[in-house]
Amino acid sequence: MSRPSPRRTPITGDPRVDAPRALVEILSGRRRSTDIVNEARASWPGDPRDAALFQALVMGVLRRRLALAAVLAPFLHRKLENSPPLVRETLLCMALQTLYLDRVPAHARVSASVDAIRRLAGESAAKFVNAVGRNLERRLAQGDPRLGLPPEVLASLPAPLLARVKAADPGPWDDALLDALTADAPSTLRVNRIASTRDAALADLAARGMTARPTPWAVDGILIDDGTPLANHKLVPRVMVPQDEASQLVVEALAPRDGESILDLCAGTGIKTSHLYSRAPKARVRAVDLDGGKLVRCVALCKAMGLPQPETTTSDARALAAGGLAGTADAVLLDAPCTGLGTLVRRPEVRYVRSDGDVAPAAVQQAELLKAAVCLLKPGGRLVYAVCSFTDEEGPAVVQAVLAGTTGLRVDPIPLDAPFRAADGTLRILPWRHGMDGFYVACLRKEG
C-alpha cells in the first residue's frame, strides 16, 4: 500500500528555527533529509547564506549526532534523548555550531540558539538552552571536549551498525575509514544522452561558472565540485538529473538495448526508468510500483527529459509473476526495497531510523521479489538485482538463496574493472571506501 504524502512544515527563513523542526520530522521517519533540504533550498524566502546554514545544521547534526550528545552530556541533568524534541535538536544545533562550524561567530552561537528556542518552545526552554550553551562555551575555553571520544562516536555510528560496517568490509580495517561517513555526500548527476553528451555537459557547466568532472566509473556521471546546477531549470532535468554514481552503475550493469522488452520493478519516481530510456530509447519499458503516485512522477520525469514515456503498472511485483507478464521480459531491473544502509553518507539519518532488526525482514521480502523477477524473464533473459545496502543478508545471501532454489539461473559477471567488483562478477560498493552510496549489484542470466 502507498503512504500519503507527509505534510510539509513551513519554512520561516530562520535556519536556527527551521533546522530543529526539520530534524524532528526526519528522525520520526516521516521525511528524508535530502528531500527536506532540497525543498527548503529551492524555496528559501531569505538570504541564500541562511539556506546554506540550514543545510549545514540539518546534515551536520545527523552526521555528528553521537559526538555532539557526548559533549553535551556533562551539562545535562537527564539524558539528552529525554528532553523535549525541539529543545533536544536546538541543543544539538548549537553544539554543532560551537564544535564544527568555524564560520559561525562565537557571540552568535548561544544567543541566536536561545532566540530560536524561545520562538519554538517559550521562555523556560530559552533559559535552559542559554545555561547549557554558556557551560559549553566555558568548557571549550579549556580545550577541545571531543578529545578522547572513540572513533565510532566521532563518526556517529551506533554499535550494531558499526558491527555491520566491519562485517561487510574485507579489510584491512582502519578506524580512519570512518571519517568518510562524516563527510558531505558528493553532488553527482547523470547526463541525459538524448539531450547531450558528458563532454558537452561539462563544457556547458564550465561556461556557467561551475566546476565539474567526470565520475570515475559511471560513463554518464558528473561530479560537481563547485556550483549549484540543480537550481538551473535549463539543465535539470532536461540535460541532467541528480543520481548517485553507484545507482547509475545499476542500469549500466543491465546494459539495456533498443528493441528489448524491459521491466523496471519497484520503479519509484523513475530515475532508473529514465536512465533505461536514455541508454535505449527504442526499448519497450514498463515501470512497475506499488505507489501509483510515484509512477505518475516517473512518467512526468521521462517526458520532461524528452524521453519516451513508459507503460506503467501499479502492482506488487510478486503478483505479476503469476499473471500475463510471466516469461515476457528480455530484461528485468529489480532495485529492491531495502534498509537503505548504503546511504549512510547521503542520508545519515538511517543510522537512527533503522534498527538491526530491520535487516532480516527486508531480506525475506527481497528474496520473494527476486524469485518473482526471475519468473518474468524470457529464457535467455537477464536480470539485475540491486539493493542500496552493504549487509550480506540483503545482498549476496539473497542471490545465493534464490540461485540454490532455481534451476537454469546463473550469475552473469558484470564487465567492470573496478576495485569493488567481487570475484564472482557482482559489485560490492562500500561508501566508506569507494566515495559513493553503498550498493550490492548482481546480474543473473536465465538459461534458454
Active site residues: 388
> Helices 292-304 & 271-279, crossing angle to 10 degrees?
40
Q: Which residues of 114-152 are buried (b: 16+ CB within 10 A; e: fewer)?
A: bbbbbebbeeebbebbbebbeebeebbeeeebeeeeeeb
Distance CA 410, CA 420 (A): 20
Pair 24, 31: CB distance under 8 Å:
no
Task: For residue 310, give the nearest of 335, 339, 278 by alpha carbon.
Answer: 278
What Å distances lie between residue 87 and 91, 185, 386, CA to CA?
6, 27, 40
Looking at 332-392, list the stretches that DSSP marks H as alpha helix, in order from N- to C-terminal side.
350-353, 359-376
Place of cell 563532454: 199
C-alpha–C-alpha distance, residues 64 and 155, integer Å: 6
Supply 351's cell numbers: 543510522
- All residues at 6 or more sequence positions from 138 whose CB lies less than 8 Å from its CB, including other chains: none
What is the C-alpha separation between 317 and 410, in angstroms, rounded?
Answer: 21
CA 151 vs. chain centroid, Å, equals 23
- Residues linked to residue 385 through DSSP beta bridges, in sequence order: 334, 442
Asked whether 349 and 32 are in contact (CB, 8 A), the reply is: yes
CA–CA gap between residue 295 and residue 73 (Å, rounded): 46
Sheet arrangement for strand 240-242: 211-214, 221-226, 187-191, 240-242
Residue pair 28/120 in contact (Cβ under 8 Å)? The answer is no
Residue 120 to residue 100: CA distance in whole angstroms: 24
- Helices of type H across 43-84: 48-72
- Going by C-alpha positions, the residue among 234, 245, 241, 244 that lies closest to residue 208 is 234
Enumerate the H helices of 230-358 as residue ranges: 245-254, 271-279, 292-304, 317-320, 350-353
Residues 348, 349, 350: CA angle, nearest 5 degrees = 90
